Amino acid sequence: MDFTTFLQQLVNGASLGSMYALIAIGYTMVYGVLRLINFAHGDIMMVGAFMTYLATSMGMPFGVAVLFGVVISVLVGMLTDKIAYKPLRDAPKISLLITAIGISFFLENLFNVLFGGVPKAFSAPDYLTKVLHLGNIYLPVTVIIIPVITVLILGSVLWVLYRTKYGMAIRALAFDIPTVKLMGVNADSIISIVFALGSALAAIGGVFYAISYPSIDPLMGVIVGLKAFAAAVLGGIGSVTGAVIGGFILGFTEILVVALFPELGGYKDAFAFFFLILVLLFRPTGIMGEDLERSRF
């Protein structure tokens, strides 16, 4: 592999890693507060992509369509918490986990019925499909935009967590929900905010994924969601910054391994889970993870 090809693959890896990072933030925030692995989170990404597709097919401008997709995804995420997770707050964690898997299957089959099992072509405006050239390196506009937006979102999430009262409440809930309730904080509302924020980021990641790989189907969130979960664990589940770092590492690795060893292209999805196994074996807290009894986010 020559240097130009290597740089090209780094650019591609940054774009893919950014999408994993956006989805991984939602995983890590929900886990940090509720100790819940929300396996329906990847399907929220699918909801965002499909709702944007539906809005564009109805003639809405693309920006409005993305906003529509994000809002619907936020509503789905919040309703999922209210209907499925809230009644089981005090139940064993395995009950919540099984419920999350059930919600995942429900969303996948619902959208399969509504939109059919055939993949849909996702069209984006011309200004998002342009390709710039930097020497011999091809730079699709989205490859530049997605990492920039991911970094800006990371900064915004950290600002909310550490510079606002809502962020203080989220971090306090992550330590002790009953005690925070005794202090007059509406814990259910704060948890809804966490789900809303995570769902919005998943929807944005889903739209970017649909632009980069312009075909969507009801099962698109399964593998991508599991990879984002692996990224969250790799970076340190419970750490927002770690989730982003894990996403970038996973994206770079997936792209570079296929570029260096094309014969392994059919196994590229396996590398995410190989990383997950290694992290769980040798550093269960992940790269940025700490003792969750002493630190959050």
pLDDT class for 43, splitting at 50, 70, 90?
very high
**Distance, CA of 159 to chain centre:** 19
What six digits make up the tokens of 196? 């809303």
What six digits make up the tokens of 240? 């927002």
Domain membership of residue 50 as a residue range = 19-219
13 and 239 in contact (C-beta within 8 Å)?
A: no
Rounded to an integer, what distance in angstroms lies between the CA atom of residue 256 and that of residue 78?
37
- Interaxial angle between packed helices 3-34 and 165-175, expressed in degrees from 0 to 180 and rounded to the nearest 10: 70
H runs (alpha helix) in 35-140: 41-57, 62-80, 93-115, 126-129
Residue 73 lies in a domain: yes
**Total domains, the chain:** 1
Residue 3 lies in a domain: no
Residue 67 lies in a domain: yes
Residue 2 lies in a domain: no
**Location of structure tokens 């990641």:** 205
What local confidence, expressed as pLDDT, does residue 178 receive?
A: 87
What six digits make up the tokens of 94? 């395995």
Nearest by Cα to 142 from 77, 62, 80, 68: 62
Residue 253 lies in a domain: no
pTM of the predicted model as reported, rounded to 2 decimal places: 0.90
Q: What is the identity of the amino acid at 93?
A: K
What six digits make up the tokens of 2? 């020559």
Contacts of 128 (CB under 8 A, 6+ apart): 62, 141, 142, 145, 211
**Distance, CA of 172 to chain centre:** 23
Residue 277 lies in a domain: no
Instruction: Give the mean pLDDT of 106-131.
Output: 88
Residue 125 lies in a domain: yes
Could you report the per-residue pLDDT of 196-234, keeping only the tens digit for each? 999 999 999 999 999 988 889 999 999 999 999 999 988
Could you report the per-residue pLDDT of 163-177, keeping only the tens digit for each? 999 999 998 888 888
Q: How far apart are the first and last CA of the chain?
A: 39
220 and 202 in contact (C-beta within 8 Å)?
A: no
